[in-house]
């Protein structure tokens, strides 16, 4: 594997008496798709939250681009999440009062992009994820698959170096889940974006280049997965 983009070493995190992480370590390379699998309660989401700087580990280190994320002030962590990291959650977490276009444009507006330019780029990313034409819809007016693709467009609109996705298909049926994953992987391959997939679903993990397993807060296994050279484009899936 090439030089890691994001590295975690010996992460420990407890919530009261419950130890969610017990010394977990991983490397994510630039352009790699890495699946983190494990049963419910194995610490997968806590691991992602530590990698994204959403929570701080009690012990261990998280390093990105020469910076110790576990030591950075909240302001700097917020900047990185707006520019270098795209985070996707199981239920999308779109802002219900905003349209699809405004949800996608929001990270750009927060970074100082003009409203006109942000809306234009939002439209381009909605098209890449096969939901162009849904710009005026609010989350409650979209299907689960459409809303999750809007959430992916929002995560990628800033062209981050890494996308951290926590059970991105967990709330979707099998067809919508396949559409979302195909759109995500195709777009990540085009842009060279690294993807960390948190999942309990073997079909989702199969999209990755490599899989690691988490059990009781510890990485217990790692394996390379066969690449899928026949992943269609997001537009093809949308049709």
| Separation between Cα atoms, residue 205 and residue 197, nearest integer Å | 7
Mean pLDDT to the nearest integer, 80-103: 89
pLDDT, greater one: 1 or 198 = 198
E-strand ranges in the chain read 4-15, 18-29, 33-37, 59-64, 67-68, 85-88, 162-166, 194-199, 210-215, 218-224
Query: Which CATH code for domain 4-238?
Result: 3.40.50.300
pLDDT tens column, 97-152: 999 999 999 999 988 999 999 999 999 999 988 888 889 999 999 988 888 889 98
238: confidence class by pLDDT, cuts 50, 70, 90: very low
Instruction: Judge residue 212's burial from the number of C-beta atoms within 10 Å of its C-beta, 0-12 exposed, 13-18 middle, 19 or more buried.
Output: buried
Specify the pLDDT at position 1. 52
Q: Are 28 and 34 in contact (CB under 8 A)?
A: yes
Average pLDDT of the residues of the chain? 88
Q: In the structure, what pLDDT confidence band is assigned to residue 223 with cuts at 50, 70 and 90?
A: low
Task: Retrieve residue 87's tokens.
Answer: 């985070």
Beta strands 4-15 and 59-64 are antiparallel
CA distances from 89 to 4, 43, 100, 155, 167 (A): 23, 15, 16, 10, 7
- Please write the tens of the pLDDT for every residue from 46-79: 999 999 999 999 999 999 988 999 999 999 998 8
pTM for the whole structure: 0.85
Average of pLDDT values for 187-211?
Answer: 92
pLDDT in tens, 139-172: 999 988 888 889 989 999 999 999 999 988 887 8
The answer on pLDDT for 209 being more than 80 is yes
pLDDT of 228 > 50? The answer is no
How far is it, in rounded angstroms, from Cα 172 to Cα 204?
12
Q: Which of 14-18, 59-63, 78-82, 214-218 has the lowest mean pLDDT?
A: 78-82
- Look at the alpha carbons of 62, 65, 66, 68 in this order and tell me if their dihedral is positive or negative: negative
| Distance between CA atoms of residues 196 and 147, nearest Å | 20
Tokens of 15: 């919530």
Domain boundaries, the chain: 4-238
Q: Does the structure show a pLDDT above 70 at 229?
A: no
């Amino acid at each position: 594997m090439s030089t890691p983009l994001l590295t975690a070493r010996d992460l420990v995190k407890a919530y009261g008496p419950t130890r969610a992480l017990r010394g977990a370590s991983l490397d994510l390379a630039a352009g790699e798709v890495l699946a983190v699998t494990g049963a419910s309660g194995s610490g997968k989401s806590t691991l992602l939250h530590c990698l994204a700087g959403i929570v701080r580990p009690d012990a261990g280190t998280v390093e990105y681009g020469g910076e110790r994320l576990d030591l950075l002030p909240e302001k700097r962590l917020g900047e990185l999440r707006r520019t270098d990291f795209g985070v996707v959650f199981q239920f999308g977490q779109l802002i219900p009062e905003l349209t699809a276009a405004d949800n996608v444009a929001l990270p750009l507006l927060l970074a100082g992009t003009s409203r006109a330019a942000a809306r234009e780029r939002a439209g381009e990313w909605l098209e890449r994820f096969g939901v162009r034409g849904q710009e005026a819809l609010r989350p409650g007016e979209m299907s689960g698959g459409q809303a999750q693709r809007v959430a992916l467009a929002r995560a990628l609109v800033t062209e981050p170096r890494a996308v951290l996705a926590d059970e991105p298909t967990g709330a979707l049926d099998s067809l919508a889940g396949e559409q979302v994953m195909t759109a995500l992987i195709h777009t990540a391959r085009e842009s060279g974006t690294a993807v960390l997939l948190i999942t309990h679903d073997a079909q989702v993990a199969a999209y990755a280049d490599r899989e690691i397993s988490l059990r009781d807060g510890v990485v217990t296994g790692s394996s390379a997965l066969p690449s899928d050279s026949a992943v269609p484009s997001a537009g093809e899936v949308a049709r």
